[in-house]
Amino acid sequence: MKLTLMGNEAIAWGLIHSNTQMVSGYPGTPSSEILTTVQKIKDSKNLPVYAQWATNEKVGFEVAYAGAIAGVNAAATMKQVGLNVASDALMSASFIGNKGAFVLIVADDPGFNSSQTEQDSREFARFARIPVLDPATPAEAYEFTKLASEISKKFEIPVMLRSVMRVSHSREIVEIDDNFEFKEQKGNFQRDIPRWAAVPREGRLKQAYEQLERIEAIKKYNYENLIKSKIDKLKGTKNLIISSGAAYGYAKEVVDELNLDVDILKIDMPYPLPDELKELVKNYEKVLVVEETYPVIEEELRSENVFGRMSGHIHLVDEMNKERVLEAYKKIGFYEGENIYKPYFKVEDVNQRKPNLCPGCPHRDVFFAIKKVFRPKKSIYPSDIGCYTLGINLEAIDTVLCMGASVSMAHGLSIADKEKTVIATIGDSTFFHGGIPPLINAVYQKAKFILVILDNSTVAMTGRQTTPERENPQVDLKKVAEGCGAEVMEYFYKPDINETIEFFKKVKKRYQEIDKPLVVISRQYCVLDKERAKDFLPGIFATVDEEKCVACDVCTTQFVCPPMHYNERGKIEIDPLLCIGCGVCISGICPTDAFIPRREK
């Protein structure tokens, strides 16, 4: 059967078609659609599959991995920075292994499109000594997911499927199995304490040697099953290009379009590489490794005639593209002609738009109120990963590090700069993900700062997945914060900026009276949440009384709502197509009250 599938959807079908019965993970672009697609397939076909979001990537990994050691096929999904969170569990799992298949799916983000760092998860696979498959297209993503499951079960080892954004989010016609019948597996955990209980050194030393033996066996598998037939088809030219994953598409197209006389070899499993590949390299005058993002293959094949990132022939940071590949071919001497991929215009020629919160987003009001009450010169604003990062546009954020770090950084900043008030912001999902341990730490060490949890009951930035409290109200955000030992104040959001400011004045007063962390839970909504937003939006649309507008810039530099812009008369104007009718600007944003209700004609 042929389906037009996004890469992440193809991975989801690959999981189902490899009898994967447990899937867990944490959302994050570009990986989020994998688990949601598994959920859709499961529901549409009424399959006995567990497919649930976890509170963070480490928890998701461990839930799925437990299924794999009990004998059922399982998978964990995350983006590359999520793997940092799950890496503790991964390192132990790579020693211990599994009985059912265990596929670790990690979507990398070359070029920092939706991430705070650019990192290559293949390095993590090499670090953990587990095999990694690197699909180049959605069709390969489907086939490689099944292959990863097969290898994992055969060698009883976690296998990583490393996708990148251009594979995860591109679409292709994919041929999937027609007559597949899902076979339910019954978990049957076999007690084996020396294997499953990861205590040092007695059991681990033996497992460390077994791990090395497995890697050697997988090297042979890689050569016999994935590489040998490709080597047999090489033309035997003077020079060779080795590539993998999405980078192969760029490398191959440029070779074809420039009609270069070079051999090109695609690697499906970049780690572990067989020794036969090192022998192959000796037959060529020059070998260029084109891969994304780190020099994983290049390092494995190190030799005087092997070139790539480490030799300075390929760029070190940012996404691959055909112009960059062509530049590498010129540097190494494979091509001497003109740049046929030269763009018609430069990025600098295009007007840049700053990332901004959505029109009507309640986060904007909270940031605005915090700055009004806690002036920037007397305050520090650590924040976190998620929509609140967009508060940078309002100059309401001073630091962003990683998930949950707003809380621990607020603790540290309160010690380092005692003259200023520290007001941290974090979302509800991020608080559950990584904010609870640092809050406990701050309470037990008697730190003093304000933590504002912007609770919109959804993981908004990555696809509006549900949060623990929304899924089950017994996971009560207020009780959790109180259980950590913090004092808690709740605000039930209203689209009236004066009410929000008055609330934060009460927060400031209470903060001055206590000697512990003060947690503020702002109960809000997400304007993209179709189930809840309609209950909160009053439908009050705004326009501008130009006679009152004095072009003071408060609305464009401090409130920064997307529909607001200057017109040709030098007055603020509201774009009616962008305004969603929250009415907040009418409630007191403008010092001259220039915003007024729009009368429908």
The Cα angle at residue 303 between residues 300 and 308, in degrees rounded to 5:
70
Is residue 288 within 8 A of residue 308, CB to CB? The reply is: yes
Q: Is 236 left (phi over 0), alpha (psi -120 to 50) or beta?
A: left
In 3D space, the residue among 55, 125, 134 whose CA is nearest the CA of residue 90 turns out to be: 125
Whether 590 has a binding-site annotation, put simply, is yes
Whether 484 has a binding-site annotation, put simply, is no
**Number of Cβ atoms within 10 Å of the Cβ of 97:** 21
Is residue 412 within 8 A of residue 430, CB to CB? The reply is: no
- Burial code of 483-494, b = ≥16 C-beta within 10 A, e = fewer? ebebbbbebebb
Distance (Å, whole) CA 55 – CA 549: 47
Is residue 240 within 8 A of residue 284, CB to CB? The reply is: yes
Whether 361 has a binding-site annotation, put simply, is no
Is residue 488 within 8 A of residue 521, CB to CB? The reply is: yes
Whether 585 has a binding-site annotation, put simply, is yes
Pairing of strands 572-574, 564-566: antiparallel
Whether 579 has a binding-site annotation, put simply, is yes
Alpha-carbon Rg for the chain in angstroms: 27
Longest Cα–Cα distance of the chain, Å, equals: 81
- Host H or E run for residue 307: strand 306-307
Q: How many CA atoms lie within 13 Å of 473's alpha carbon, on the beta-carbon side?
A: 0
Q: What is the 3-state secondary structure (H, E, C) of 71-114?
A: CCCEEEEEEHHHHHHHHHHHHHHHHHCCCCCEEEEEEECCCCCC
DSSP states along 497-540: HHHHHHHHHHHHHHHHH-SS-EEEEEE---TT-TTTHHHH---B
> Facing residues of 2 across strands?
175
Q: Phi and psi (nearest 5°) for 596?
A: -135, 160
Whether 387 has a binding-site annotation, put simply, is no
Tokens of 281: 């390299």
Distance (Å, whole) CA 271 – CA 291: 13
Whether 561 has a binding-site annotation, put simply, is yes
**Number of Cβ atoms within 10 Å of the Cβ of 306:** 23
Is residue 174 within 8 A of residue 144, CB to CB? The reply is: no
- H-helix segments, 131-266: 138-155, 165-168, 193-196, 202-221, 228-232, 245-258
From the annotation, which residues make up the binding site for [4Fe-4S] cluster? Answer: 549, 552, 555, 561, 579, 582, 585, 590
Q: What are the binding residues?
A: 549, 552, 555, 561, 579, 582, 585, 590
